[in-house]
Amino acid sequence: MSANNTQGRLSADAKAALLNRMRSTTPGGAAPVAAAATPHYDTSFATLPGFEQLKLMHAATNAFGIPNPFFRTHDVRAGATSVIGGKEVINFASYDYLGLNGAPEVMAAAHGAVDAYGTSVSASRIVAGERAFHRDFERELAAVYGTDDAIVYVSGHAANVATIGTLVGPRDVVFHDELMHNSAIVGTQLSRAHRRWFAHNDLDALEAMLAADRASYGRALIVVEGNYSMDGDAPDLARLVDLKQRYGAWLMVDEAHSLGVLGTRGLGIFEAQGIDPRSVDIWMGTLSKTLASCGGYIAGSKDLVDYLKLSAPGFVYSVGLSAPATLSALTALRLMLQEPERVARLQANSARFLAAAKAAGLDTGAADGHAILPVIVGDSLKAVVLSNLMLDRGVNVLPIIHPAVPNKAARLRFFVTAAHTPEQIDATVNILKEELPKTDAFIRKLAFAGISDMLEGGAGQG
């Protein structure tokens, strides 16, 4: 059959396809590869998990006139009082536990640091950002815990992420309290170590896990908080030390909300419970609470600190802590040690708030009265509504809702400080007792519209 006859029998579409194929034939005569269809990729951020739920929630709360309680703008330095929208309020949303943010000595140290060193060290410490004040601060932090040395990071969150991610890996295991801070959980996830969590402060459960699983892994790390940021309670440190010794594990204690809060001098959980701090392998803390600055630290053995300074990405590849941040935190640390009466005032205020709340019939959960006082209301939307009602009455306190806490465990979280007065505490508890019942009718209305369920059905817990 001739080529002409063959071509004569082809349809017009077939002829066009054949012609295109002939034109695209490579010079060497090899058959061309058919062009693959370009796949469609949806690059919209609206496709991220939970985004649609977030939009629906915002639309629903806006429709019912429920203000967003988050990202409230403060017009002045926020201490025991603040100014929001031009109105002075009693403020229970600050970590400034000892009232050192704005203390004349701390502010003078920051001003002097800017004058002498500028606003940045402009390099990682391993390259060109090392300054004498870094080592002064690290030595004084180490002295608090009786350890060989300390290392300071530019972020408290990064301190946990970088440290845990550097110390453990895929062959290892991390055991942590279920209410452990997000930074420790993220550090564990990024390390690719195996993760085992135990019920909050249930050291029987931890021991059972260690007995069952410890031998299956290389290194083991136990991570707890000295004062839990959601519940304001503390673990049994003596038993944790015993467990880590018996099962060959490192023990890491996050003191972000313990320094300045626990113990006669505010040294933390080891002072409060009479434990030798050298029996804990890794002490972690932040500079943004009691120390009125920004950053984080790890205190421990010389080997630990030397290793982190050469291996932890959050330190090696990050700019060093600025002079104003370092010297203000160092000054705050010295003031804490020189003025234990600040710690005593904080502890008295915390005890007063807890006693008043319990007397008013409020649910304070497991709180021990250590600066963090939750008032549990159960429903997330109820917590949001109550926060707004409190602001209308002149009290700024933020709701903590799912997924930050489990479903039906939503609460208002009060941060008590040494700067609060007894009158402010008593007035706040009375206002809370008056406003809480007012939320019920509003919640019933929203539940009828299905909005309450919408809030509770948010993204899963991390």
Catalytic residue numbers read 229, 257, 289
Distance CA 182, CA 228 (A): 12
Task: Note whether 262 and 269 are within 8 A (CB).
Answer: yes
Burial of 132 (0-12, 13-18, 19+ CB in 10 A): exposed
- Any idea what the Cα angle at residue 377 is, between residues 411 and 258, rounded to 5°? 30
Sheet with 87-91, side-by-side order of all strands: 81-84, 87-91, 395-396
Q: Would you call 183 exposed, middle or buried from its count of C-beta atoms within 10 A (0-12, 13-18, 19+)?
A: buried
Q: How far, CA to CA in Å, does 28 sit from each of 21, 24, 32, 36?
A: 14, 11, 10, 22
- Contact (CB, 8 A) for 312 and 282: no
The H helix count followed by the E strand count for the chain is: 18, 13
Helix or strand holding residue 61 (H, E) = helix 51-63
Q: From CA 162, how far away is CA 307, in angstroms rounded?
A: 12
